[in-house]
Structure 1
Amino acid sequence: MKIVVIGIGLIGGSLVRDLRGLPERPSVLGMDKNPDHLDQALSLGLIDAPAEPADLATADLVIVSIPVDHVVRELPGLLAKVGEETLVIDAGSTKAPICQAVSGHEKRRNFLACHPIAGTEFTGPDAAISGLFQGKVNIICEVEQTAFRIQERALELFRHLGMRIRYMSPEAHDRHIAYVSHLSHISSFMLGKTVIEKEQNERDIFDMAGSGFESTVRLAKSSPAMWTPIFEQNRENVLETLDEYIANLQEFSDQLRENRYEDLYRQMDNTNRIKDILKGIPQQKQE
């Protein structure tokens, strides 16, 4: 089995780490616009060698793990180069623009639009870890657009990775992920910004920061190069979630300003049921 991974960071690197455990012991070739990433991937054993464009035609699997704006721009050309039986998957946190980019493509049947809901705040080849996808959800969109025999091969690979599969339309995916992933990243970035601006000349806040602050602001360490295109592509859904979030923050502020502590308590108590909703969800879940 021959795998070509395009973009050797946390997601692409973690995928090939676990796929190396397949019974057929695949060979893995890599592409990355950052030559340092290629060197790191080689030294870490994530890839066997750099890939050439010609390798796409003979690959069994092509993993596209690059920022979503690059996926939209590059995916049609990549599909044009793959073989008739090549499976191409992506890992983008938006799905509608990506699916639109290859709508009607002569090799659309080779592409399976995916979003594995897994990750950490770290980037680059050295962030890749084994077992990242075990028990995690993989959203698949427009499965009917992919050739059935290629779908079957993809599902075998996902079973090997230990992933749970959900099927969704691209539009539903982008709407839901704006709430459970994109908004949490914005909240984390803005909390970090608020603290930095308020305490830029003081060390006290960071000396006092406990695990609650650390866990809440963790996502602010994520790559702006990855997240800016996500917010751009999912702009309308993100704006809707932001409007609702801002309205809730304003309500909290009003209750506090007006000494309405019973309302404040009731609001937080009602929100406590989130712990029951989230019970059993695997850790390290991120977009």
Structure 2
Amino acid sequence: MNVYIIGIGLIGGSFALDVKTGFPEAEIFGIDASESHLARAKELKLIDYPAVMADLKNADVVFIAVPVDASIGVARQVLDEIGENTLVVDAGSTKSRLCTAIAEHPKRRNFLAAHPISGTEYSGPEAAIPNLFRGKTNIICEVEKTAFKLQEKAMEIFSKLGMRIRYMDPESHDRHIAYVSHLSHISSFMLGKTVLEKEKNERDIFDLAGSGFASTVRLAKSSPAMWSPIFQQNKENVLETLNEYIHNLNQFKTLIENEDFEGVFKEMEKTNHIKSILNGIN
């Protein structure tokens, strides 16, 4: 099996590691806009060979793991290059614009829109880790538009990687993911910004920051090059979630201003229900 991975960073590199484990006979080819990323991926044994887009005619599977602002152009180019029996999987975290953009492509049946809900705050080939996807949910959009044989091929790969599968339409995906992922990143970035602006002494931040701050601000270490396009592509849903979040913050602020600490307690107690929902998530 010839597997071509476009974008050898955290997601693409981790996919390469797990495909090598699950399918020892697979040969992994890497395509990346950064020559240094390709060279490093080869050094780290994430890929067997560097490649270019023209080589995709030899691919059995193509896995696209690029920033979402590049994904539409990349997906179209990939579909133009591949053979009739090649499976193309996109792993980006926004889906509506991409699915609309390729809806009329002659090889739309070769394409599977996916979003593995997994990752860390790190990027680049060095960020790749084995078993990143194990036990994680993989959202599949518009599965009915992918050829059945290629669906089967994709499910075999996802099963070997240990993913749980959830089906969703692109619009629902983008709306839900704005709440559970995109808003979390915005909150983390803005918390980090607030602390940096108010705590001018970096040593104070280092010495006084506890585990609560470190875990809450962890996502602020994520790549702006990846996340800025996500907020742009999912703008409407992100703005809706931000408005609700700001409303809740203002409401909480008002309770404190009015010294209504019984109200503060009730708000936090009510929100504690999130524990039962998230219990068991790593």
Q: How does the TM-score come out when normalised to structure 1? A: 0.97
Q: Is the 8 A contact 1:94 1:174 kept in 2?
A: yes
- Consecutive unaligned residues in structure 2, runs of 5 or more: none
Q: Is the 8 A contact 2:22 2:161 kept in 1?
A: no
Question: SS of the residue aligned with 1:189?
Answer: helix
Task: Give the AA of the match of 1:271.
Answer: T
Give the Cα separation in 2 of the matches to 1:52 and 1:142.
28
Structure 1 match to 2:27: 27
Q: RMSD of the alignment, in Å?
A: 0.9
Q: Is the 8 A contact 1:142 1:168 kept in 2?
A: yes
Q: Is the 8 A contact 1:4 1:55 kept in 2?
A: no
Give the Cα separation in 2 of the matches to 1:97 and 1:74.
13
Structure 1 match to 2:171: 171
Q: Is the 8 A contact 2:174 2:234 kept in 1?
A: yes
Structure 2 match to 1:3: 3
Listed as ranges, the matches of 1:68-217 within 5 Å are: 68-201=68-201, 203-217=203-217
Give the Cα separation in 2 of the matches to 1:20 and 1:73.
28
Give the Cα separation in 2 of the matches to 1:51 and 1:192.
39
Distance 1:39 1:261, change over 3 A: same
Structure 2 match to 1:41: 41
Structure 2 match to 1:248: 248
Give the Cα separation in 1 of the matches to 2:202 and 2:154.
52
Task: Note the C-alpha offset of 1:206.
Answer: 2.5
- Stretches (4+) displaced over 6 A: none
Structure 1 match to 2:52: 52
Structure 1 match to 2:232: 232
Question: SS of the residue aligned with 1:83?
Answer: coil
Between 1:13-22 and 1:217-226, the stretch displaced more is 13-22
Question: SS of the residue aligned with 1:63?
Answer: strand
Task: Note the C-alpha offset of 1:78.
Answer: 1.2
Distance 1:32 1:23, change over 3 A: closer
Give the Cα separation in 2 of the matches to 1:32 and 1:54.
13
Deviations along 1:168-188, one digit per CA (max 9) or x if unpaired, are 000000000000000000000
Task: Note the C-alpha offset of 1:209.
Answer: 0.3
